[in-house]
Amino acid sequence: MSETKLREDICRFGRSLFERGLTPGSSGNISVRLDDGGWLVTPTNASLGFLDPGKMSRLDANGKLVSGDAPTKEVPLHTALYQTRAARAVVHLHSTHSVALSMLPEIDPRAVLPPMTAYYMMKCAPTALVPYYRPGDPAVADAIKGLAGRYSSVLLANHGPVVSGDTLEAAVFATEELEETAKLYLLLRGLNPRYLSPEQVTDLIKTFGLVLPDHPH
């Protein structure tokens, strides 16, 4: 896919996420890896609803700005995911229900959500929790690297989700699935809902070739 098309796609998906209230104001950032090893990333203090494809930050393989506006301060976060996973895109949002989930005391850092739906398991499960770091803190990169590439979806405590994917579309869809599952969890919290059984999870793994790290479910 051409760089021009990728720039346009970042703007298109960014506007969709913004207009549906999944990342307010100038929060959130999106990046896409290019064939030459460099990547495109949304600029700092830019609203995902009003991105300009010509002003997108273009970084080289070492994360140095080549052209465009200054990049998001979350570059270390994106870099850590690219270094530990064979990802082509990363989406980081401040979506309400995922942030709320990251603040609950009972969630397991190795799997913040139980196996609630088939599509959550297929698109982004399990999801790890990373402790709180201030936005832009380079130390978050070490925390992500500590997960050793086992997780495609991560929750930053008191901050928001970070999801990687083989394509930008896949990363966006997985982020949306994580947000909807977090919403379901909050709606059902304390009501003793029925989750997928171990046998049902095993069936999904076998049928769709899912690769899940060890987790308590």
Around 113, how many Cα atoms within 13 Å sit in the side-chain half-sphere? 34
Instruction: Tokens for 177, please give them.
Output: 């699935």
Concerning whether 119 is annotated as a catalytic residue, the answer is yes
Scanning the chain, the segments in alpha helix (DSSP H) are 3-19, 75-84, 96-102, 118-123, 139-145, 168-188, 198-208
Sign of CA dihedral 76, 172, 179, 55: positive
Residues 6+ apart with CB under 8 A from 93: 17, 22, 23, 27, 28, 160, 161, 175, 179
The residue from 119, 120, 185, 195 that is catalytic is 119
**3-state DSSP assignment of residue 168:** helix
Cβ neighbours around 207 below 10 Å, total: 10
Q: What residue type is assigned to position 40 of the chain?
A: L
Residues carrying an active site annotation: 119
